[in-house]
Amino acid sequence: MDQKIKDLLGEASLFFYDDGTVSLIGENYVGQKEIEKFAELLIKECVAQVEKNVAGAVGTYAGTHNAAVLKCKKSILEHFNMKS
């Protein structure tokens, strides 16, 4: 599993075991709140990667590129019913 995903699991108070299981730190189960927190963190990471592409555009089509990138960001957030 990617280290960034493991870090996000930790931020959501979840622990990833070597056998592939995930649990609430110190417990035998994962609660709905922790799962939702992890999902929210993962979506925010995805949006952050999209946002990185706004600053990268230069030249004639930079405005169009940036508008498309921001539309992608908005679409992802709306799809998951989240605010930026």
- Structural domain of residue 16, as residue ranges? 3-79
pLDDT the model gives residue 75: 92
Which helix H or strand E contains 15, and what residues bound it?
strand 14-16
Please count the structural domains in the chain. Answer: 1
> Is residue 52, in this structure, part of any structural domain at all?
yes
- What pLDDT is attached to residue 10? 83
Tell me the pLDDT tens digit for each residue of 24-80. 766 666 677 888 888 889 999 999 888 887 776 678 888 888 888 889 999 998 988
Q: Is residue 84 part of a domain?
A: no
- Model's pTM, two decimal places? 0.66
Of 24 and 7, the structure prediction assigns the larger pLDDT to 7
Give the span between the Cα atoms of 39 and 37, in whole angstroms.
Answer: 5
